[in-house]
Amino acid sequence: MSESVPGPSILHKYFSPENRMAEVICGLIMVLTFTATTGAMFEGTTPHALLIAVVGCNLAWGIVDGVTYILGNLMTRGARSRLILEMKRKPNDPHTAELLASRIDTVLGNLLTPDQHEQLHAWILQGAANAEPGPTRLKKEDLYTALACFLIVFGATIPVVVPFLLFRNDAIALRVSNGLILVMLFAMGWRWAKFANLNRLRAGLSLLGLGVVLVLITIVLGG
């Protein structure tokens, strides 16, 4: 009897590596922005209260981001159905050809020769003629995606809330928490470099610096 091979997890099945890292980075920057402004806005706040605030902040953001991903999936599915209808009704229309060519270029870039591009274009039109675009409605995959998005964003807060449990002094807890966030940003850049074919040290330092800049911009703009 052959051994069963476990399938991919929800995170790996519905989120690409770059999407997962983008969500973690977003969650970390949200927390860093919150904690960076806390000292000035909430003087005398206890570590316990900060813990609840930080967790609540990313809990809310995880829900919002999950809903946003559902809406994005619906819009993408609707755009795909609309493109199929356009190719079925007006296969020779210049606008349809331009729209299809842009989709091919987005996915494959310069990998195709002009002849290959033209052949692929013809194959897609042929397939669209026999395809029936489905209705744009909510699917279980959308819920899985939203759940994965929530888990990633909310999960990013788990390491950075530990200092609020370990230290009674709110100033120390904030500094340690912010330090952990900066270390995690560097680690995410180091990890991201593998997928982006970049120098690991340079990518880590760049993401660390970018995170600090984004936080400063958010604070200046009143975020």
Radius of gyration of the chain (CA): 23
Determine the Cα–Cα distance for residues 214 and 38; give it in Å rounded to an integer: 16
Instruction: Dump pLDDT digits (tens) for 33-75.
Output: 776 666 545 555 666 677 777 778 778 888 888 888 888 888 8
Q: How confident is the model at residue 168 (pLDDT cuts 50, 70, 90)?
A: confident
Q: Where are the domains of the chain?
A: 16-218
- Is the whole-model pTM more than 0.75? no
Determine the Cα–Cα distance for residues 27 and 154; give it in Å rounded to an integer: 7
Minimal CA–CA distance to 190: which of 209, 207, 204?
204
The percent of residues in the chain predicted with pLDDT above 90, rounded, is 0
Could you give the dihedral angle defined by the CA atoms of residues 96, 98, 100 and 102, in that order, rounded to the nearest 10 degrees? -150
Residue 4, pLDDT score: 39
